[in-house]
Amino acid sequence: MGSYAIPPPAVRRKLGGLLIALVVGVLVAVGALVAPPRAHAAESTLGAAAAQSGRYFGTAIASGRLGDSAYTTIAAREFNSVTAENEMKIDATEPQRGQFNFTAADRVYNWAVQNGKQVRGHTL
């Protein structure tokens, strides 16, 4: 059988200290990678994060989807600005020459105002 030499106590203490330092270093590094940055942890929605720097975070809304509660819940929670998808384009607002219909555009606008959103009309 082979023989193993037991290191002197001073060497064992040094190795033990190095091992503890290594374990602590690895745990700190892993914690830094896993933990979210503090500046972003305070904001829970995209719109709130944008508002922190005076900006807005918007979405396009289709009037036909305003009856979908999952769609409107996400839009109301995450965004602070709304643009109508196609409801303000010429084919939607003037389906026939000289006949105007703003019903769908008004529906998007009214939903946005009722939910405290900014509104952008990208083609009107």
Locate the domains of the chain by residue range. Answer: 9-36, 44-120
Which whole-number Å values give the CA distances from 25 to 29, 30, 31, 33, 107, in the listed order?
6, 9, 10, 13, 57
The phi, psi pair for 9, rounded to 5°, reads -55, -35
Residue 9 in tokens: 């106590």
Query: pLDDT tens for residues 1-13?
Result: 667 777 777 877 8
Q: Express each pLDDT in 110-121 by its tens digit.
A: 999 999 999 988
b/e sequence 62-78, b meaning 16+ C-beta within 10 Å: ebeebeeeeeeeebbeb
What is the distance between the alpha carbons of residues 107 and 122, in angstroms, rounded to a whole number?
16
pTM (2 d.p.): 0.61
Q: How far is CA 48 from CA 61, 62, 64, in A?
A: 19, 22, 26
Q: Between 6 and 95, name the one with better pLDDT.
A: 95
- Asked if residue 120 lies in contact with residue 114, where contact means CB atoms within 8 angstroms, the answer is no
The per-residue pLDDT for range 15-69, each reduced to its tens digit, is: 778 788 888 887 878 777 776 665 545 568 888 888 888 888 899 999 999 999 9
